[in-house]
Amino acid sequence: MKFNIYHKSSTCRARTGSISTPHGVFKTPAFMPVGTLASVKAVSPEELVDAGAEIILANTYHLYLRPGHKIIEKLGGLHRFMNWPNPVLTDSGGFQVFSLSRLCTVTEQGVTFQSHIDGSKHFIGPEQAMEIQRALGADIIMAFDECAPYPADRKYISNSVKLTCKWAQRCMDCDRRAGQALFGIVQGGMYMDIREMSAKETVRMGFDGYAIGGLSVGEDSKTRNIIVKGTVRFLPEKKPVYLMGVGTPEDLVESVISGVDMFDCVLPTRNARNGTLFTTTGKIIIKNAHYVDDERPVDENCGCYTCRNYSRAYLRHLFMSRELLAYRLNTIHNLYYYENLMAKIRESIRNDCMDSFIQRFYEARNNNKQS
């Protein structure tokens, strides 16, 4: 993996760049659609490309449980399995082990847990997480970490970070595929001094990139922004920074300002299936009655397939009728919105006009609220 930085904002830490992987190059700041089970729900790989996606995320925990990493490896690896020839990042499965398992027991060796699917018993530690991701063949893989609950006291978070650091070193010691990049994960809850300790220890190990984990778990946006900004300060400037599981369009803008290069979140796809659509002026709830005869596209400033061809009235009809096409069209629009937002951010950084971009971004939302 190679990370190139091309432009830096003169007024904040925002920057543009590119990351080269064995399956191609993607531009940063980048948003990665979430393809948990080797599929971004409701859309095809071709539609992802049309939306502007250059890299997607898949999930180690889910693919380990079904169909199994060995089956995917036998069938040629994740890229071939899902017909996605471009870069893929896999998370380590740590978050799902702790959040989805019916029961789990944590030791220094790893985590014993019960499958959320059938209750069967499994064990994943750092070595197993690396073995699974090696078999999947992702371009960027993540170190195994403990995802602490929120809220949690200082003692718990401190011990959790120490365990995550031990696991990170064990992940570093594992074999990887040629060209596979490994990112370390910084944890520390809402305690900035523990975050600093985690960041410095993780950086000492010399990963290819660094992720900020343990956020978007219930904390308010102000606290999240403080933690992100504070953590980035302790990460090397020449390595990519990945904010895991975050977030809203506002989260993306604020985090780019702080120096984040990569994002993933289920919001655009999950909200699409729930009938919430993102626009340049904020969100709209397509089931609302006042869209019943609205001939306008979802967003008149949007160039996606959905907005070029369908009205709000039609999308409302599909959603209220529970037609499957509603989920596809809504998802195409939301993903295009997110990818287009990142493209506009990159353009603003290149032109060194982030301040005016941020002003326009928030003015559009505030004007919509007032109207």
The predicted structure's pLDDT at residue 20 = 98
Mean predicted lDDT score pLDDT of the chain: 96
Segment 196-213 mean pLDDT: 98
Q: What is the pTM of this model?
A: 0.97
* Sheet-wide strand order for 56-59: 30-32, 262-264, 241-243, 209-212, 181-186, 140-142, 88-91, 56-59
Segment 207-232 mean pLDDT: 96
pLDDT tens for each residue of 72-122: 999 999 999 999 999 999 998 888 888 877 788 999 999 999 999 999 999
Task: Evaluate the omega torsion of the peptide bond into residue 189 and state whether it is cis, within 30 degrees of 0.
Answer: no
Dump strand ranges (E) for the chain: 2-8, 15-21, 24-28, 30-32, 56-59, 88-91, 104-106, 111-114, 121-124, 140-142, 181-186, 209-212, 241-243, 262-264, 276-279, 282-285
Residue 371 has pLDDT above 70, yes or no: no
Q: Which two tokens stand for residue 100?
A: 């989805």
366 versus 155: the higher-pLDDT residue is: 155
CB-CB contact of 193 with 157 (8 Å): no
Question: Which residue, 147, 32, 140, 57, is CA-closest to 96?
Answer: 147
Segment 147-164 mean pLDDT: 94
Segment 300-327 mean pLDDT: 98
CB-CB contact of 29 with 261 (8 Å): yes
pLDDT tens for each residue of 322-354: 999 999 999 999 999 999 999 999 999 999 999
Question: By three-state DSSP, how is residue 58 classified?
Answer: strand
Residue 369 has pLDDT above 80, yes or no: no
Segment 345-370 mean pLDDT: 93
Q: What domains, with CATH codes, occur in the chain? A: 2-264 (3.20.20.105), 272-370 (no CATH)
Q: How far apart (Å, rounded) are the C-alpha atoms in residues 54 and 326?
A: 24
CB-CB contact of 259 with 212 (8 Å): no
Segment 8-20 mean pLDDT: 98
The predicted structure's pLDDT at residue 370 = 58
The predicted structure's pLDDT at residue 103 = 81
Tokens 């890299």 correspond to 55
Residue numbers annotated as active site: 91, 264
Residue 313 has pLDDT above 60, yes or no: yes
Question: Which residue, 59, 61, 54, is CA-closest to 32?
Answer: 54
Q: How far apart (Å, rounded) are the C-alpha atoms in residues 228 and 361?
A: 20
Residue 238 CB neighbours (<10 A): 9
